[in-house]
Structure 1
Amino acid sequence: MAAQDDRSVANRLFFRLFQASNILQKQTVSAVGLTTVQWAVLGALSRRGYEGGIAFNDLTEYLIVSRQSLDGVLKRLEREGHVRRIPHPDDGRARLILLTDQGRAYWESLQPQIHDFYAQGLESLSFDETISLLHYLNKLQKDLEQIQPSPTKEEATHRNDAFET
């Protein structure tokens, strides 16, 4: 019975994360006019130390998004003049993603809306609760990154057959 309860709680937790992610996506578009990935890209590019850009692959790893997803978002941000792809100085085949001056000004103009979004989103949590939530989400992220796929029934059967011969 305890294992069933554990599965039930885990199912509820992961479903709530799914719902929260969808609500976040919907609310960011409504409140700030950006998708969560656009928001994350602009935020990542605006970080101190990245004024000269960041390699495309490094940005995918930092944001934990697929190359295809990031490429689509970058194309839109490029059309809007917020980012540019420039040749990587060390690798002619690679590109750096650079926040343009227009993109930086746009990001800065969004800061009051973003601050208000954060305040409303965390309204029912105390500072200590927010720190705890961040701590537990960091732990969950690390655990999720360590997940190894379980073997399929066919793979497990094949392994068992190999031991019997």
Structure 2
Amino acid sequence: MTERDDVDVIVEQWRRERAGMRPEPMAVFGRIYRLARIVGDAQEKVYANWGLGRGEFDVLAALRRSGEPYALAPKALTAALMLTSGGMTGRLDRLERQGLVRRTPDPADRRGLRVTLTQQGRRVVEEAAEAGLEVQRRTLDALPAEDQARLGDLLRALLAAAESPP
């Protein structure tokens, strides 16, 4: 068991101030939020070594994960990353200026475009992904492998519950 942390203090303050409140969920979600922010910020610092923000990395990663030929329609990228078309356009503009993606006419749809990862983009995203994973690994290494797997299972169940309609 680890020492008390700031989240314990917050939960205890609510218990003291509002006896019937039952603030226990704050202990879980407060830590999830803080952990995501800390690790996400550390990953963003790592991505900056390749001239990327988190958003640009996400676009490159979506293209790389899509498999050969590492190309998607802007609408597919927008849906995959839950962005507005304006937000996606800005990211694509920056990535295209850096030579990491290119936009070309979609051969299957005269009115459409395809966003394709360039060779440089593929190299950058693969290197940045490995560096970002190392940040995550260093954090997870605080837990034994069995606990890491169990935590993944528990978080999957919580996410499914949060995503299902009430």
Q: For residues 74-120 of structure 1, what are the alpha-carbon distances to aligned partners after superposition, in whole Å with 9 as ceiling and x for unaligned? A: 22211111112222233333322211111012223335523432321
Aligned residue among 46, 49, 54 for 1:31: 46
Query: More deviation in 97-106 or 112-121?
Result: 112-121
What is aligned with 2:146? Answer: 128
1:138 to 156, 159, 166: 156
Larger deviation: 76-85 or 24-33?
A: 24-33
CA contact (8 A) 1:85 1:96 kept: yes
Unaligned runs of 5+ residues in structure 2 are 1-17
Call closer, same or farther: CA 1:60–1:126 in 2, change over 3 Å: farther
Amino acid aligned to 2:98: E
Matches within 5 A, 1:6-85: 8-33=23-48, 34-47=52-65, 49-85=67-103
Report the RMSD for the aligned CA atoms in angstroms. 2.9
Q: Give the total of aligned pairs.
A: 146
2:120 is aligned with 1:105: no
Letter in 2 for 1:22: R
Contact 2:39 2:135 in 1 (8 A): no
Q: Which amino acid aligns with 2:147?
A: E
TM-score of the superposed pair, with normalisation by structure 1: 0.69
Contact kept, 8 Å, 1:24 with 1:36, in 2: the verdict is no
Q: Normalized against structure 2, the TM-score is what?
A: 0.69
Classify 1:118/1:25 alpha carbon distance in 2 versus 1 (closer, same or farther; 3 Å): closer
Q: Secondary structure at the match of 1:76?
A: helix
The one-character-per-residue Cα deviations of 1:38-92 (angstroms, maximum 9, x if unpaired) are 2222222112624240122222332334433333222221111111222223333
Greater shift in the superposed pair: 26-35 or 98-107: 26-35
Contact 2:99/2:118 (<8 A) preserved = yes
Residue in structure 2 matched with residue 162 of structure 1 by the alignment: none
State the identity as a percent: 28
1:4 counterpart = 2:35: no
- Extract unaligned runs of 5+ from structure 1: 149-165
Contact persistence 2:60–2:125 (CA under 8 A): yes
Q: Which amino acid letter does the alignment assign opposite residue 119 of structure 1? A: R
